[in-house]
């Protein structure tokens, strides 16, 4: 396929006749071992499919079988399926597969052996015989594949050159990249590699001449100069920068954010995994259904069963067993489907975790959930990724997370019957039952040793019966036996018999009625301090926690908490699923909460929750002020309770890292604070999350947390909380382009502002009012409101607010023929912002200055201001504002009589807005259309 389509059988090349027959075969080869439907054939072989697609395809399949038979191939290779046809392709038979396997092998060799990796890529490149599928009359499905393969070829070539340079093969790279830039003269990356290869070969003059040639080609063809990386490389060469002598300066072969990483998110396997052979075989058949063992088209296996039956254990064990079949990575998420309602993981939260795992930078994540789903599935297209969706609540939570591409597979675990997935997505349900008696006995034997189990065979059988063959119960019973080797199994069985009973969640006929007794063994063996910590952990909202949070629950931060956590993990009551982060099973969480109800007073439980929320609130407040001290008006926290610990954070990087690790916990803490009656903690926690969630593109989580906080403040009649949450929701809904929702909260702010007494509060309100009036076209009112806000901020000595208002006043003056006056206001705002280090405000003010210069007819100055604005927004990573600046730059170019430059700026802006799924993209598209593009 990597060139004109060619098939070689035992007797030589096959005569395949016309282009339509070859297009049908190519469509089959795109999906080796998979069923190709009539719809796929129609999109692959025809631009305008005939009405009788079925009969046409049937004719071509018959011709293909005849051609295969004449070449000595088996007729069974091309099989008829209920939904279409499938073609078996064995390992090594398809050049496209061999190509991808060699690329995968190269990726596996990096970074330890760049030379070996380069050899594999060189071997992959030699498989190409020309343009992919050259000479075929193809439909859109095949055309998309041709386009993808052509791009894949050149990116692999660039990757090879990068690795070969690291291996010191400078002359070889120079020769190959010189040929490639003739074929692809607009690929700046190729020019960079050519320059670097020439320079390292001792040909500095040739390298600089290559830069000049690249400059002329790009200016002539695109009307733009080379981008910054190519310019920096030229400057380094002119300065004979020693850094160019080593491989570390070679630019990355793929721009950041363009190529997803290979996630490896699977949790650790369970040692001594036992049984489940039948279920593993069914999973193999479902997800590895291709005739040659290659991944089939998306298969969903819903592993259902009661809590503690081993759904997650099986899913993780199986996934690790076949992970090598999914070389592009494995994604895993615990959806927390059976925690309290407000703490169930949202689809948006899970999706963002997957996008993060796939290496998508936060500033490239679209605003809309549908666009995020589209990005996620696009990243998985043509890749082999295994997705484990653990502990799902229902089909609605899961459906957007399912991959939509061949080569991927998904496994869903749930306590519920996900019949919706079976009906709509063709999921293959796998109900996980209790262990068989043989499997249960094997579990005990592998944990305790064959000799001990054989010596007390009757007692072992009694333990199996009393644990109801539930894997979780058996594992905990085995752990107790292991930690007490002197204790006969008969004594353990007697203890279990005497303590019969069940957790409330498993009452009635549920087979897990004896789990409480088993759990009590481990609990009763704990030291008093560890037992108390275990109970208090049941108050934590989850999904996991670090040591400072555990210390805050105990209320004794001076005493090391890690020994207690180690005691709990040793008793199998807690798991350190990541270094320094602890979690436990839902059954254990429920059991711990039950024990807290029994043994700790309401006052003690509330005090522990208070300390825990203080821990998160005060640490999050510190973190958000480190990230962006000018982002919000600071709130006032109540003093932290004695016994609550905080995490020391040294700077913005540590703050961002802490937020990243605790994001899910903080979102759950907002919900828990609301349900437990900690109203102030609820809205203040939501406030601290605003900057981090906004920067990371977690906009749906931002709205959800603020709505939770708003509801809590409304119930408690907390006017301060209402003010802050309404302010945040105005901004959040505006970011999501939901103006009606933003306006409704602005109306609420007007009501709340009526009797406000704080000076800065009304100032903020007047500034927001000015923005609303501006959006509604009441520009005079906007100017009046911003002037009122300016006076209040100046009276309060608030430089941040004063600068923001000066910019607003200046901006609103400009359209009234007062551009000079407006420019002076904005220039004064810029001076203040630079003095106080307000980079965000500086970017906004530079935009206003550009507008003022444009109104004054000073186009060169306007362009410079907008360019500086673009630089600031790029530095801050605010992609929407980058697009806004590019739109303005394009308008200046058009005013200056350079429409091609305007086209380039608007094209760049449109790419960003489309990537963000922002509605302003249509306006930019219309601008380009008017230019004839």
pLDDT over 70 (residue 52): yes
Task: Tell me what the mean pLDDT of segment 749-770 comes to.
Answer: 70
| Cα 347 to Cα 480: distance, rounded to the nearest angstrom | 38
pLDDT over 60 (residue 333): yes
Q: Nearest Cα to 365, choosing from 352, 379, 381, 378?
A: 352
Summarised one tens digit per residue, pLDDT across range 235-289 is 888 777 777 875 433 333 333 334 457 898 998 887 778 888 888 888 888 876 5
pLDDT-based confidence at residue 506 (cuts at 50, 70, 90):
very low
Q: Tokens representing 601? A: 């007073």
Q: What is the pLDDT of residue 508?
A: 30
The SS3 of residue 12 is strand
Same-domain check for residues 386 and 314:
yes
pLDDT over 50 (residue 157): yes
Helix axes 879-895, 921-930, angle to 10 degrees: 20
Report the CATH number that the domain containing residue 244 is assigned in CATH: 1.25.40.10
Residues 6+ apart with CB under 8 A from 301: 282, 283, 286, 287, 410, 411, 412, 427, 428, 429, 430
- 568 in a structural domain: no
The SS3 of residue 496 is helix
Q: Tokens representing 342? A: 């407000």
Summarised one tens digit per residue, pLDDT across range 257-268 is 344 578 989 988
pLDDT-based confidence at residue 386 (cuts at 50, 70, 90):
very high
Q: What is the pLDDT of residue 546?
A: 95
Q: Apex CA 906: angle with CA 900 and CA 907, to 5°?
A: 85
User: How many CB atoms are closer than 10 A to CB 905?
Assistant: 26
Which of the 8 DSSP states describes residue 638? P
Q: How many CA atoms lie within 13 A of 244 on its CB side?
A: 24
- Residues 394, 397, 400, 403, CA torsion sign: negative
Q: What is the pLDDT of residue 526?
A: 86
Q: Nearest Cα to 794, choosing from 781, 782, 806, 783?
A: 806
Q: Tokens representing 549? A: 């949070």
Q: Tokens representing 609? A: 């929750």
Summarised one tens digit per residue, pLDDT across range 180-201 is 888 888 888 898 999 998 888 8
| Cα 521 to Cα 537: distance, rounded to the nearest angstrom | 18
Q: What is the pLDDT of residue 69?
A: 75
Q: How many CA atoms lie within 13 A of 148 on its CB side?
A: 14
pLDDT over 50 (residue 509): no
CA distances in angstroms from 920 to 140, 737, 883, 887, listed in the order given: 29, 10, 10, 10
Of 160, 190, 213, the position where a domain reaches its end is 160
Same-domain check for residues 206 and 354:
no
Of 478, 495, 524, the position where a domain reaches its end is 524
Summarised one tens digit per residue, pLDDT across range 563-615 is 999 988 877 778 888 889 998 877 678 889 989 999 999 999 999 999 999 99
- 796 in a structural domain: no
Same-domain check for residues 290 and 375:
yes
Q: What is the pLDDT of residue 79?
A: 87
Q: What is the pLDDT of residue 755?
A: 57
Summarised one tens digit per residue, pLDDT across range 336-366 is 887 666 678 888 889 988 988 888 877 677 7
Where is pLDDT greater, at 517 or 99?
99
Of 390, 409, 431, the position where a domain reaches its end is 431
| Cα 530 to Cα 527: distance, rounded to the nearest angstrom | 5
- 594 in a structural domain: no
Same-domain check for residues 657 and 695:
yes
pLDDT-based confidence at residue 507 (cuts at 50, 70, 90):
very low
Q: What is the pLDDT of residue 756?
A: 52
- Of all residues in the chain, the percent with pLDDT exceeding 70 is 89
| Cα 761 to Cα 635: distance, rounded to the nearest angstrom | 11
Report the CATH number that the domain containing residue 118 is assigned in CATH: 1.10.10.10
Q: Apex CA 28: angle with CA 26 and CA 29, to 5°?
A: 60
| Average of per-residue pLDDT values in the chain | 83
- Residues 428/300, Cβ–Cβ less than 8 Å: yes
Summarised one tens digit per residue, pLDDT across range 522-552 is 788 789 999 999 999 999 998 899 999 999 9
User: How many CB atoms are closer than 10 A to CB 245?
Assistant: 11
The lowest-confidence range among 68-77, 148-157, 844-853 is 68-77
Report the CATH number that the domain containing residue 372 is assigned in CATH: 3.40.50.300
pLDDT-based confidence at residue 292 (cuts at 50, 70, 90):
very low
pLDDT-based confidence at residue 829 (cuts at 50, 70, 90):
very high
Q: What is the pLDDT of residue 111?
A: 58
Q: What is the pLDDT of residue 512?
A: 35
| Cα 9 to Cα 25: distance, rounded to the nearest angstrom | 14
Report the CATH number that the domain containing residue 734 is assigned in CATH: 1.25.40
Count Cβ neighbours within 10 Å for each residue of 304-325 and write b for 16 or more, e otherwise: bbbbbbbbbbbbbbbbbebeeb
Same-domain check for residues 227 and 299:
no
- 141 in a structural domain: yes
Summarised one tens digit per residue, pLDDT across range 72-86 is 676 678 888 888 899
Same-domain check for residues 98 and 202:
no
Q: What is the pLDDT of residue 314?
A: 92
- Residues 180, 185, 191, 194, CA torsion sign: positive
Query: Which neighbouring-strand residues pair with 414?
Result: 304, 392
Q: What is the pLDDT of residue 517?
A: 60
- 614 in a structural domain: no
pLDDT-based confidence at residue 556 (cuts at 50, 70, 90):
confident
State which residues form the domain around 629. Answer: 620-752
Summarised one tens digit per residue, pLDDT across range 850-874 is 999 999 999 999 999 999 999 988 8
Token look-up 């080869």 returns 29
Most confident of 153-157, 290-294, 298-302: 153-157
Same-domain check for residues 244 and 307:
no
Q: What is the pLDDT of residue 632?
A: 55
pLDDT-based confidence at residue 445 (cuts at 50, 70, 90):
very high
The DSSP annotation for 204-242 comes to HHHHHHHHHHHHHHHHHHHS----HHHHHHHHHHHTT-G
| Cα 854 to Cα 678: distance, rounded to the nearest angstrom | 52
Same-domain check for residues 296 and 417:
yes
- 53 in a structural domain: yes
Tally the domains of the chain: 6
Q: Nearest Cα to 803, choosing from 843, 775, 765?
A: 843
Summarised one tens digit per residue, pLDDT across range 8-44 is 876 667 777 677 888 888 898 888 888 988 888 888 8
Q: What is the pLDDT of residue 502?
A: 38
Q: What is the pLDDT of residue 16?
A: 72
Residues 6+ apart with CB under 8 A from 865: 846, 847, 849, 850, 853
Same-domain check for residues 352 and 452:
no
| Cα 691 to Cα 627: distance, rounded to the nearest angstrom | 8
φ/ψ of residue 835, rounded to 5: -65, -40
Task: Tell me what the mean pLDDT of segment 623-630 comes to.
Answer: 83
Task: Tell me what the mean pLDDT of segment 878-894 comes to.
Answer: 89
Same-domain check for residues 149 and 180:
no
| Cα 30 to Cα 562: distance, rounded to the nearest angstrom | 54
pLDDT over 70 (residue 697): no
pLDDT over 50 (residue 513): no
Same-domain check for residues 426 and 470:
no
Torsion of CA 787, 793, 794, 799, to 10 degrees: -120
Which of the 8 DSSP states describes residue 798? -
Summarised one tens digit per residue, pLDDT across range 484-505 is 888 899 988 887 777 544 344 2
- 853 in a structural domain: no
Q: What is the pLDDT of residue 839?
A: 86
Same-domain check for residues 4 and 122:
yes
- 737 in a structural domain: yes
* Cα 463 off chain centre by: 44
């Amino acid at each position: 396929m990597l060139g004109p389509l060619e098939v070689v059988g035992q007797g030589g090349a096959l005569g395949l006749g016309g282009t339509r027959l070859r297009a049908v075969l190519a469509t089959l080869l795109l999906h080796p071992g998979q069923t190709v439907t009539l719809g796929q054939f129609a999109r692959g072989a025809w631009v305008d499919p005939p009405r009788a697609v079925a009969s046409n395809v049937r004719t071509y399949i018959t011709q293909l079988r005849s051609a295969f038979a004449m070449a000595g191939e088996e007729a069974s290779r091309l099989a008829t399926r209920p939904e279409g046809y499938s073609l078996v392709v064995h390992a090594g038979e398809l050049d496209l597969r061999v190509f991808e396997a060699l690329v995968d092998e190269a990726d596996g060799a990096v970074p330890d052996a760049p030379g070996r990796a380069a050899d594999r890529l060189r071997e992959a490149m030699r498989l190409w015989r020309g343009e992919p599928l050259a000479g075929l009359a193809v439909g859109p499905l095949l055309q998309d594949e041709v386009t993808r393969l052509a791009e894949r070829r050149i990116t692999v070539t660039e990757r090879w050159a990068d690795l070969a340079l690291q291996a010191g093969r400078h002359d070889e790279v120079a020769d190959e990249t010189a040929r490639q830039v003739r074929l692809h003269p607009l690929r700046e990356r190729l020019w960079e590699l050519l320059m670097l290869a020439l320079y390292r070969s001792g040909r500095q003059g040739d390298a600089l001449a290559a830069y000049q040639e690249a400059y002329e080609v790009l200016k002539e063809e695109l009307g733009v100069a080379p981008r910054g990386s190519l310019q920096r490389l030229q400057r380094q060469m002119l300065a004979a920068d020693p850094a160019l002598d080593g491989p570390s300066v070679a630019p990355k072969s793929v721009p950041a954010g363009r190529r997803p990483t290979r996630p490896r998110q699977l949790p650790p396997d369970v040692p001594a995994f036992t049984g489940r052979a039948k279920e593993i075989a069914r999973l193999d058949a479902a997800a590895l259904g291709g005739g040659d063992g290659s991944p089939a088209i998306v298969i969903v296996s819903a592993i259902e069963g009661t809590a503690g039956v081993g759904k997650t254990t099986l899913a993780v064990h199986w996934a690790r067993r076949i992970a090598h079949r999914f070389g592009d990575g494995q994604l895993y998420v615990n959806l927390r489907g059976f925690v309290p309602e407000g703490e169930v993981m949202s689809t948006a939260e899970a999706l963002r975790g997957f996008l993060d795992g796939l290496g998508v930078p936060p500033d490239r994540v679209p605003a809309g959930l549908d666009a995020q789903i589209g990005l996620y599935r696009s990243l998985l297209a043509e890749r082999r990724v295994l997705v484990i969706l653990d502990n799902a609540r229902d089909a609605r939570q899961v459906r957007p997370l399912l991959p939509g591409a061949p080569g991927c597979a998904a496994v869903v675990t749930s306590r519920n019957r996900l019949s919706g997935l079976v009906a709509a997505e063709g999921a293959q349900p796998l109900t996980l039952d209790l262990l068989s008696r043989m499997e249960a006995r094997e579990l005990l034997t592998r944990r305790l040793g064959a000799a001990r189990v054989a010596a007390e065979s009757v007692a072992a059988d009694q333990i199996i019966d009393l644990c109801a063959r539930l894997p979780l119960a058996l594992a905990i019973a085995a752990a107790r036996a292991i930690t007490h080797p002197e204790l006969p199994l008969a004594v353990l069985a007697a203890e279990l018999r005497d303590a019969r009973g069940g957790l409330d969640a498993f009452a009635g006929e549920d087979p897990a009625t004896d789990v409480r007794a088993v759990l009590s063994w481990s609990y009763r063996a704990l030291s008093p301090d560890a037992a108390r910590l275990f109970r208090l952990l049941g108050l934590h909202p989850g999904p996991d926690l670090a040591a400072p949070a555990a210390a805050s629950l105990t209320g004794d931060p001076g005493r090391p908490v890690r020994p207690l956590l180690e005691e709990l993990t040793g008793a199998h009551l807690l798991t350190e699923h990541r270094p320094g982060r602890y979690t436990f099973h839902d059954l254990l969480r429920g059991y711990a909460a039950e024990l807290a109800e029994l043994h700790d007073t309401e006052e003690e439980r509330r005090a522990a929750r208070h300390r825990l929320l203080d821990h998160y609130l005060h640490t999050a407040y510190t973190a958000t002020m480190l990230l962006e001290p000018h982002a919000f008006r600071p709130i006032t926290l109540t003093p932290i309770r004695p016994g609550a610990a905080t995490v020391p954070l040294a700077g913005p990087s540590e703050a961002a890292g802490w937020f990243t690790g605790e994001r899910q916990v903080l979102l759950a803490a907002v919900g828990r604070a609301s349900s437990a009656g900690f109203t102030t903690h609820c809205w203040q926690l939501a406030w601290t999350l605003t900057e981090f969630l906004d920067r990371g593109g977690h906009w749906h989580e931002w709205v959800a947390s603020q709505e939770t906080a708003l509801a809590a403040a409304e119930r408690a009649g907390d006017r301060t909380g209402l003010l802050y949450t309404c302010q945040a929701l105005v901004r959040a809904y505006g970011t999501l382009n939901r103006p009606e929702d933003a306006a409704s909260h602005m109306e609420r702010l007007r009501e709340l502002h009526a009797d406000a007494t704080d000076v800065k509060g009304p100032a903020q309100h007047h500034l927001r009012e000015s923005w609303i009036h501006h959006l509604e076209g009441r520009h005079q009112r906007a100017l009046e409101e911003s002037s009122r806000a300016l006076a209040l901020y100046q009276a309060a000595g608030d430089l941040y607010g004063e600068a923001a208002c000066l910019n607003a006043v200046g901006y609103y003056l400009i359209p009234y023929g007062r551009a000079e006056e407006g420019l002076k206001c904005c220039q004064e705002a810029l001076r203040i912002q630079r003095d106080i280090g307000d980079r965000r405000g500086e970017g906004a003010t530079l935009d206003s200055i550009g507008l003022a210069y444009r109104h004054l007819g000073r186009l060169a100055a306007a362009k410079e201001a907008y360019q500086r604005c673009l630089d600031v927004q790029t530095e801050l990573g605010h992609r929407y504002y980058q697009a806004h600046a590019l739109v303005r730059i394009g308008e200046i170019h058009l005013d200056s009589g350079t429409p091609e430059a305007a086209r380039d700026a608007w094209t760049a802006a449109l790419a960003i807005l489309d990537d963000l799924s922002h509605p302003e993209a249509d306006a930019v598209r219309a601008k380009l259309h008017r230019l004839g593009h």
